[in-house]
Structure 1
Amino acid sequence: MSMLSRRDWGARPPKDAYTTLTHTKGVKIHYTGDHVDPALAREHARCVATVKAIQDHHMDGNGWIDIGYSLVVCPHRTIFQGRGAGHLPAANGAGLNSDHYAVLGLVGTSGLTQPPDDMLLGILDAIDYLREHGGAGNEVKGHRDGYSTDCPGEALYNWLKAGAPRPKTDESH
């Protein structure tokens, strides 16, 4: 598993202290909700810029203390530490954040809409990490399962409904 710490990806410090979270029912999966440049799948440096832009939007646009996601997964099976394990996310919706961690897959409504196998593997890695280090329970749901939204998009949601199977290209298992 490849995880970039907040320092590694150049995260801004949070504006305030996080609320502690010791256990959850599980994890909710998200997508960006807008266009994701397909070049992201070829150029990993774009992933870093995209995660920074999301953090900026959440902090400066939404007024949140930090990026709203616990972890972010790019097409290269890299996990970016957002708020991390043990901290309340902000992305699941008011009143819903304490029930599930929030993991973002960097796909959107146009451009890059189909999660590559390495992204799916990274999401599975992120779920395992949150179970081991954050007390995440067994539920794995889409954002729309608790909040009125199209998130995490059809491709990720169909994968979740199918039981989030490991892609056939995974040779590690």
Structure 2
Amino acid sequence: MENLVTRAEWGALPPSQQWRALPRALGVKIHYEGREVPADLARPDQHHRCAARVREIQAMHLADPVQGWIDIAYNALVCPHGRVFEGRGARRESGANGDRRLNRAHYAVCAMLGDSGLTEPGPALLHGLCDAVDWLRERGAAGPQVVGHRDGRDTDCPGEPLYRWILAGAPRP
């Protein structure tokens, strides 16, 4: 995938423990950040800020004593410019879906959208989400399901605009 940003390229820290293997999944759960994402992050000249944001998310996850995450919780993250950032990657259990049963059922892909600021997915981000889903199907034996985080947990994630896209069948724009 030409728009993949590997862990090495975005400067990921190593996981604090070994990842759990995930030989296959029912599909992919789509997430959003659930916090403010600056609206100007989507400007074409602002892509240089995206890797730092992914590193910030990883640092928040590693520092969270309640969740006990061993790494960034997502298998992939997609920035507003359509680039797919490798999180835990394919064939590795997610930490983001809510519990072990849910993490073994679906991969987790996070759109860099928030509950304020940047909330509407643009075409580049939607293309990137489709690319991430295709990548996890090809590399991680993800099944056909594309669902929202709220389809497994009591949460607002992935926000109304992104959830409408999922309910419409997660089409490539």
TM-score bracket relative to the smaller structure: over 0.9
2:129 aligned with 1:128, yes or no? no
Given the alignment, which residue of 44, 57, 60 partners 1:57?
60
Aligned to 1:105: 111
Provide the identity percentage: 53
Q: Aligned pairs, how many?
A: 167
Structure 1 stretches of at least 4 aligned residues deviating more than 2 Å after TM superposition: none
Aligned to 2:143: 137
Tell me how far apart the structure 2 counterparts of residues 162 and 54 of structure 1 sit (CA, whole Å): 28
Tell me how far apart the structure 2 counterparts of residues 23 and 63 of structure 1 sit (CA, whole Å): 24
2:85 aligned with 1:47, yes or no? no
For 1:157, the aligned partner's letter is Y
**RMSD of the alignment, in Å?**
0.8
Shift of 1:63: 3.0
Aligned to 2:156: 150
Aligned to 1:171: none
Give the 5 Å matches for 1:58-77.
Answer: 58-61=61-64, 62-77=67-82
For 1:46, the aligned partner's letter is R
Secondary structure of the equivalent of 2:145?
strand
Shift of 1:45: 1.7
Shift of 1:126: 0.4
2:159 aligned with 1:160, yes or no? no
Query: Which one has the bigger helix percentage?
Result: 2
Deviates more, 1:62-71 or 1:99-108: 62-71
Tell me how far apart the structure 1 counterparts of residues 137 and 10 of structure 2 sit (CA, whole Å): 23
Secondary structure of the equivalent of 1:98?
helix
Given the alignment, which residue of 118, 124, 139 partners 2:124?
118
Secondary structure of the equivalent of 2:135?
helix
For 1:36, the aligned partner's letter is V
